[in-house]
Amino acid sequence: MKKKFVIIGGPMGIGKTTVCEKLYQEIDRCVWLDGDWCWMMHPWNFSENNKKMVLNNISYILNNYLNNGYFKVVLFDWVLHQNTIYEKVLSRIKKPYEFELFKISLISNERALSERLLQAGVDKTKLDNSIGRLPLYYDLDTLKIDTSDLTADEVVCHIKNICSLN
């Protein structure tokens, strides 16, 4: 069986972390990297140097996961609102790893995303930024799952079906 590399993108607050946390616990020999973990710093600093460091860290970890024969499924989630971000990440994956790639974007309507962000206590600036990025996901070369009226468990089920993870 070929390894599966599942990349899940979406705006802040859409449910990527919640879905991946449930998903990786339901799949044997699965490992998960949340791209946000590589940004855990205080104070948060979005400098060019730090962007480069984060991309290097993500690439290093993903390459190690993909190279490890124990894992059959590698999950990676991050905001991923531009095709160039996918390209930067994927161009750093060392060959000759054999894997089936799934690029998925979680999307929703503005109302559902606003409700989730407000429930999480996100401030207005972050809420506006997340909603402002939502249209960008429709133009990506990814499979789309509209989470507007779905529970996290239902999204997990969709992903498992799309990626044949059952």
The CATH code for residues 3-162 is 3.40.50.300
Asked if 102 contacts 163 with a C-beta cutoff of 8 angstroms, the reply is yes
Q: Where are the domains of the chain?
A: 3-162
**96-115 residues labelled b (16+ CB within 10 A) or e (exposed):** eeeeeebbbbbbbeeebbbe
**Per-residue pLDDT, 43:** 82
Q: Which of 17, 8, 34, 12 is nearest to 159 (CA)?
A: 8
Mean pLDDT along residues 117-137: 93
All residues at 6 or more sequence positions from 95 whose CB lies less than 8 Å from its CB, including other chains: none
Check pLDDT > 80 for residue 96.
Answer: no
Mean pLDDT along residues 19-28: 96
- 107 three-state secondary structure: strand
Top-confidence residue, 2 or 71: 71
Strands 99-107 and 30-34: unpaired
pLDDT band of residue 98 (cuts 50, 70, 90) is confident
Check pLDDT > 90 for residue 33.
Answer: yes
pLDDT digits (tens, 9 = 90+) for 133-165: 999 999 999 999 999 999 999 999 999 999 999
Percent of residues, the chain, with pLDDT higher than 90? 84
Strand extents, DSSP E, the chain: 3-9, 30-34, 73-78, 99-107, 143-146
**Per-residue pLDDT, 109:** 96
pLDDT band of residue 86 (cuts 50, 70, 90) is very high
Check pLDDT > 90 for residue 79.
Answer: yes
